[in-house]
Structure 1
Amino acid sequence: MNDTPIQTTKTYEAIIQRLLEGIRSGTFPAGRKLPSVRQLSVDWQVGQAAVREALSALKAMNLITSRQGEGTFVNPHTSEQIAQSLKFNDLMTPAEVQSLLELRLILEAGAVRLAALRRTQAELDGLSLTVQRMKADLELSQLGEQTDFEFHYKLTEASKNPYLRALMESVREKMQSAQLSSRLALYRIEGEPQQLLAQHQEILQAVENQDPNSAETAMLQHLRHVEARLNQLDKA
């Protein structure tokens, strides 16, 4: 294990990166018990709170599990899960996330209005299923960033506007990276995952009711909430 002290302003992110490297390289193979929070804190000369935050993020990625009275263990993982964890290397900076949120405020406010007016029953059923999966992700303490993107992408599809869909497709990778960055940060706030789920349910309800004004309002409130929370965390 790399015992070099960690020196960074975002300590918990550096700890996540080091643990991911250990899992990918086989230093921490599936079934292996990780060192204790105290031991990692001593080895890497970081605070125990930062270690706990990093472990919480890896639990949300479904890469580790804590067993009461036993410790924290590496889960069996697929190549797909490892590929997903590699995206952590490509996390966007706060400034990049902010720029993308500005684009989304313009793009998705209009898209959701059209989706509310034009969606089919099949598209509504697909959106409902995606929100159910969001709830399942939350119950399993997973980040759910892929399901989050899927919901917003399906709304753009339901708008029936090929140019809006093309714009969403053009920023797909950046948006997925931003959602991973955002959720790693936001999920550190108690009650935030439940609030984000409720906001998506509100958007879905407006689309189901075919109410474009309420759909636009719900989308703008959701994106502005995320923007405000991230700004708050960035200043902390």
Structure 2
Amino acid sequence: MSNRNSSHINAAMTPIDRSGITELVVQRIKDLLSRGELKAGSRLPPERELAEMLNISRPSLRTALKALSVMGIIRAKPGAGTYIAESLPEVFTEPMHFMTLINNTSIEELFEARRIIEAGLAELAAERAVEEDLDALNREIEGMRETIDDPENYLKHDVRFHQIMAHAANNKLMSGVMDTIAQLLFHIRRQTISNAKDLEEAIDWHRKIVDAIRKHDTKRAKDMLSSHLRAAQAAWARENRNSHKEEVQQGEPPTFKRRLR
């Protein structure tokens, strides 16, 4: 860390009252981020130095840093130090997961939220995507086609397609929220993605989305993305019903998958 950056951080890291240490350390980190002294991916000062800056014990600092780690705000890299999260999904995922559990959010509600957000991203992508984005989207479609007999890897290409499209929209907040919801749905989709007909249809939807983005047709891009996610939700519902039927036929109580666990 440069002397100049260290001096700025020193100025922000004034000693803090020992009551509510965790909350105050969090506030100091927020202050540094809001002033641009720390950025996504920035390395925090070493533990000893940071504890001295804040005039707190190292055990107290570790407790505060653990809280920040659970929140997804920082990430420890073995042998390299502690860093600010590099992306919004890292920060959003755990709090949003807890929110869905507390609110007893249904998977249908997550699909609905994703559809609303990602349709807007598709519209923005149709306005802002460049040729490199289109090439990357087509590579993922080709990857989906090549792995259609391997659902696990197929799904990885599918997820990357949507991440690339969100990046092309050039709205970090919206793409971060969308990616967080997609991560929450990932393990559910992995359990049910198996029907070859559904996978073929999904590839076709992805081609239509790219075609609309290439033509800068914002309305069609939004409509195609929304229709694709409706079809994905319908496919999930079919597979979910089928799995329940199989469990009943085998004399087992059905596993309810309509709420996040």
**TM-score per shorter chain, which class?**
0.5 to 0.7
Q: Distance in 2 between matches of 1:160 and 1:141?
A: 29
Q: Which of 170, 174, 178 in structure 1 is aligned with 2:185?
A: 178
User: Structure 2-normalised TM-score?
Assistant: 0.48
Amino acid at match of 1:198: D
Matched, 1:218 2:228: no
Q: Which of 167, 179, 183 in structure 1 is aligned with 2:177?
A: 167
In the TM superposition, residue 147 of structure 1 has moved relative to its aligned partner by: 1.2
In the TM superposition, residue 216 of structure 1 has moved relative to its aligned partner by: 0.9
Q: Distance in 2 between matches of 1:141 and 1:186?
A: 6
Matched, 1:119 2:129: yes
Alpha-carbon deviations, 1:100-121, whole Å to 9, x = none? 2111111101000000111011
Matched, 1:102 2:108: no
Which residue is equivalent to 2:148?
138
With over 3 angstroms needed to count, the CA separation of the structure-2 counterparts of 1:142 and 1:105, relative to structure 1, is: closer
Matched, 1:207 2:213: yes
Identical residues among aligned pairs (%)? 23
Native 8 Å contact 2:148 2:196 kept in 1 = no
Q: Distance in 1 between matches of 2:190 and 2:206?
A: 14
In the TM superposition, residue 183 of structure 1 has moved relative to its aligned partner by: 4.5
Amino acid at match of 1:110: G
Native 8 Å contact 2:155 2:190 kept in 1 = yes
Alpha-carbon deviations, 1:157-186, whole Å to 9, x = none? 1111122123234x1xx5245234224324
User: Structure 1-normalised TM-score?
Assistant: 0.53
Amino acid at match of 1:145: L
Q: In the comparison of the two structures, how many residue pairs are matched?
A: 142
For structure 2, the 5+ residue unaligned runs are 1-99, 243-261
> Runs ≥4 in structure 1, deviation > 4 angstroms?
139-143
Residues 1-236 of structure 1 aligned to structure 2 (within 5 Å): 96-138=106-148, 142-169=152-179, 171=180, 175-176=182-183, 178-187=185-194, 189-236=195-242
Which residue is equivalent to 1:43?
none
Q: Distance in 2 between matches of 1:178 and 1:140?
A: 19
Amino acid at match of 2:232: V
**Cα RMSD for the two superposed structures:** 2.7
